[in-house]
Structure 1
Amino acid sequence: MKASELDKKFDDNQEEVLDYFDISKIKMLNEEPTRVYIDFPSWMVDSLDREAKHIGVSRQAVIKMWLAEKLQSLNSQAEVI
C-alpha cells in the first residue's frame, strides 16, 4: 500500500490504520514514563476530547502528540540560533 493510500484511510477514518503496522516491534525511546498531573480548565478538556474523538485516539495521546510536536519545533529553532 502506498503511503498516500494509508494517509487517505486515516484522514477519512475508513478503518483502523494500525492494522497495517507490526506493532510488536515498536521500541520505546525513553524507558519508563514519568507521571505528571496537570489541571486543565473544562473548556480545554472538552476541546481535547473533541480532537481525540475526531482522530480516534485518547485524550492523553492528543496531549502527548501536541507536546512532542511543540518541543520538536522548539528544539529545531534552538539549533538554528
Structure 2
Amino acid sequence: MKAKDFDQAFDNGEDITSQLDLAKARWPAQEQKRVNVNFPLWMIHQLDKEAKRLGVPRQSIIKIWVAERLKQAS
C-alpha cells in the first residue's frame, strides 16, 4: 500500500492494522534500559507489602512512584 493510500484510509477511519507490523511497534521515548539499585531490606519489605496489596509486581510500584516523583519535579 502506498503512503498516500495508507494516510487516506487512516483519515477515513478505516482499520489499517493489517498494514502494520505490530511486532516492531515502539512507543516513542519508552525504550527501556536495565539499571541496578540497592535498597535497604526494610524498603524492599515495604515495597513488597504495597505491591501485594495492589496485586502488581514490585518493579511496577517502583516505576510508578519514580515517574510520579519526576513529574512533580519538572
Determine whether 1:46 maps to 2:45: yes
Distance of 1:31 and 1:51 partners within structure 2: 25
User: For 1:1-81, what aligned pairs fall within 5 Å after superposition?
Assistant: 28-75=27-74
Query: Which entry has the higher C-alpha Rg, 1 or 2?
Result: 2
One-letter identity of the residue aligned with 1:73: Q
One-letter identity of the residue aligned with 1:44: M
TM-score (norm 2): 0.61
One-letter identity of the residue aligned with 2:38: D
Distance of 1:73 and 1:55 partners within structure 2: 22
What is the CA deviation profile of residues 25-65 of structure 1, one whole-angstrom value per residue up to 9, with x for unaligned ones?
xx734242011000111100000000000111100000000
Q: Secondary structure at the match of 2:35?
A: coil
Compute the RMSD of aligned alpha carbons.
1.4
Which protein has greater RCO, CA pairs closer than 8 Å, 6+ apart? 1
In structure 1, list runs of 5 or more residues that go unmatched: 1-26, 76-81
Give % identity.
45
TM-score (norm 1): 0.56
Q: How many residues align?
A: 49
